[in-house]
Amino acid sequence: MLGQKSALVCGAGGFIGSHMVKRLKQEGFWVRGVDLKYPEFTGTVADDFVIGDLRDAHVCRHVADRHFDEVYQLAADMGGAGFVFTGENDADIMHNSAMINLNMLDACYKRNIKRIFYSSSACMYPEYNQMDPDNPKCSEDSAYPAAPDSEYGWEKLFSERLYLAYQRNHGMEVRIARYHNIFGPEGTWTGGREKAPAALCRKTAMASDGGEIEIWGDGKQTRSFLYIDDCLEATIRLTRSVFTGPVNIGSEEMVTINQLAEMIMKIAGKNLKIKHIPGPLGVRGRNSDNKLIKEKIGWQPAVSLKDGLEKTYPWIKEQVDKG
């Protein structure tokens, strides 16, 4: 179609990527998705979907073989605490995600595709600012001196710098967000890579009323969680803005993991005991700081944690019930 905008979504088989494809299609874009796999839970609505490994520079050149108005680089070897904080996957996480970013960014540069969004993570913030669960510091300017608590965070930091270097040296128009715990339907909910909201929804859905669920640690660690629709809106607005970032995209509604579990139980209508067990944890406290994104692009979240969970829990319950 003449004048139709186009987008390339890398990681289009994953949680955020598959939702991003749907959102761009609703906006009338021609969309190409690329991933190692098709989306797990619904068929893709992408106009073109390439199954390919973005660690391979040839695959990157192949998917970036035409002009795209916008590129969303959401592919990464990632997961929740059970994947990132055990230490067992460190080499894969660093190697795979760095290769994807090195090759994809360079392929876009070589095809003169300028506008590329990169999904960094709040995991790149220094551990020393996130020891106090009631008062974590995650303002964008607190990133250095760098001391992320995981190799996943170090890779994100390296790649942020890579994208910024391509902007400085090669005239790319990069946009970088640091996502803080995105959740919603059609995200990973089992298998070891799921994150706290999905894991707790699954455990709650599987437990009988009056039973028990397990939580890693004492449950007093704090986090905030952003609903997927808010994440997409902020990502798109940032990508189309003149602001490069890096900037936080997250919620400022901080809760303890115990509180999160209680909210989910209430939605499920179940009364469950919480059993605290040892497990991989990450930092003691984390919350988004949205001052900069509000100032630069006027965005703030629209969906509360409760409303987001009310949409997510039934979807996970449905998956559990399907067996």
Q: Which residues bind ligand NAD (CB under 6 A)?
A: 11, 13-17, 35-37, 53-55, 74-78, 96, 100, 119, 121, 179, 181-182, 188, 195
152 is catalytic: yes
- Alpha-carbon torsion 120, 123, 127, 132, what sign? positive
C-beta closer to ligand NAD: residue 133 or 250: 250
Shortest Å distance, C-beta 256 to ligand NAD: 18
Is 181 in a helix, a strand, or coil?
coil
C-beta closer to ligand NAD: residue 83 or 166: 83
Q: Give the C-alpha separation, 229 to 186, whole Å.
A: 12
C-beta closer to ligand NAD: residue 137 or 276: 137
C-beta closer to ligand NAD: residue 270 or 315: 315
List 125, 152, 163, 179, catalytic entry = 152
Shortest Å distance, C-beta 53 to ligand NAD: 5
Shortest Å distance, C-beta 77 to ligand NAD: 5
Question: Apex CA 255: angle with CA 205 and CA 231, to 5°?
Answer: 80
C-beta closer to ligand NAD: residue 207 or 261: 261
Structure tokens at 271: 């009364």
Question: Which position has the token pair 């002009």?
Answer: 67
Shortest Å distance, C-beta 80 to ligand NAD: 8
| Kind of pairing between the strands at 182-183 and 226-227 | parallel
- 119 DSSP β-pair partners: 177
Phi-psi region of 87 (alpha: psi -120 to 50; beta: other; left: phi over 0): left
- CA distances, 212 to each of 158, 189, 264 (Å): 41, 19, 13
C-beta closer to ligand NAD: residue 271 or 304: 304
Among residues 137, 171, 155, the alpha carbon closest in space to that of 284 is found at 137
Shortest Å distance, C-beta 96 to ligand NAD: 6
| Residues whose CB falls within 8 Å of the CB of residue 246, separated by 6 or more in sequence, listed in order | 120, 140, 143, 160, 176, 177, 178
Shortest Å distance, C-beta 270 to ligand NAD: 25
- CA distances, 142 to each of 148, 163, 245, 248, 284 (Å): 11, 19, 14, 12, 17
**Which residues participate in catalysis according to the annotation?**
152
